[in-house]
Amino acid sequence: MLRMGFQSSLAFVVIGVAALPADIGAQVAHAQTANDKVMLAPAGKLRVGMYAGSPTSMVISARTGDTHGITFELGRELAKRLNVPFEPLIHQRVDQILKAMMAGELDFTVTNATPVRAKDLDFSQPLLSIELGYLVPPNSSVFTVEDIDKPGEAAQMIGNKQLDAFATNKPILFEMSDGIPGSRILDGRWGVEHVAVAIPKGREIARDYIRRFVEDVQQSGLLAGAVLRSGLRGSIKAD
């Protein structure tokens, strides 16, 4: 009898200890989620900085009137996951968004992650990469980036007024070319921008949450859908 009682008591203890880690795990997960919410949305809402007219930020469909864009859609999705209101805040230029981020007036945006900007903002791993290229006018004799890079040739063409090119990222070039009949975007690229999620400095504790968020939107197809709906052209898979 003593042996049976001892075994029963031991079994009870083992069962109780085995159940404990699951409870602790749930509590820890809840605490981490709550902490991430406080860090990423300290105002009780996710303030997302964006500017109109850029597929990487925010665009309004001329056909349906719906709002799309990488920043808009990912910001809305993050607010949903944090269970806080989504507040899109429209600015005129990128530099205004960056200044507001540094002042703690914004919580989230998507932009080119340069070393200079990384001094003032925290960036996730790259969401996607965007090619940098050239737009040339109608009847230009230049067809590839390599043509511009040929020693002496570009200078001669400019001197002869055969070449007048504008260089920036390809999404902007495609938007420009739509309004310039006969203009062309040259084949090839002269560089790449790495677009990433940006959050204000001082919220480092939430970096892991943002890293996992980026991984999930890339793998789930949410990012690909946002790219398609925004009409983004000239993007490539993140390196």
For the full predicted model, state whether its pTM sits above 0.95. no
Q: In whole angstroms, what is the distance from residue 115 CA to residue 192 CA?
A: 14
Residue pLDDT, tens place only, 101-111: 999 999 999 99
Rounded Cα distance between 142 and 144, Å, is 6
What is the average pLDDT score of the chain?
Answer: 81
Is the pLDDT at 20 greater than 90? The verdict is: no
Q: Between these two residues, 226 and 17, which has the higher pLDDT value?
A: 226
DSSP 15-47: HHHHHHHHHHHHHHHHHHHHHHHHHH-TTSSEE
Counting residues of the chain whose pLDDT is more than 90, the rounded percentage is: 46
Question: What are the extents of the domains in the chain?
Answer: 38-126+195-234, 130-185
Position 164 scores a pLDDT of 65
Model pLDDT, residue 214: 97
Q: What Cα–Cα distance (Å) separates residue 32 from each residue in 78, 85, 138, 167, 199?
A: 15, 19, 56, 44, 18
Helix axes 2-40, 207-220, angle to 10 degrees: 90
What is 38-126+195-234's CATH superfamily?
Periplasmic binding protein-like II (3.40.190.10)
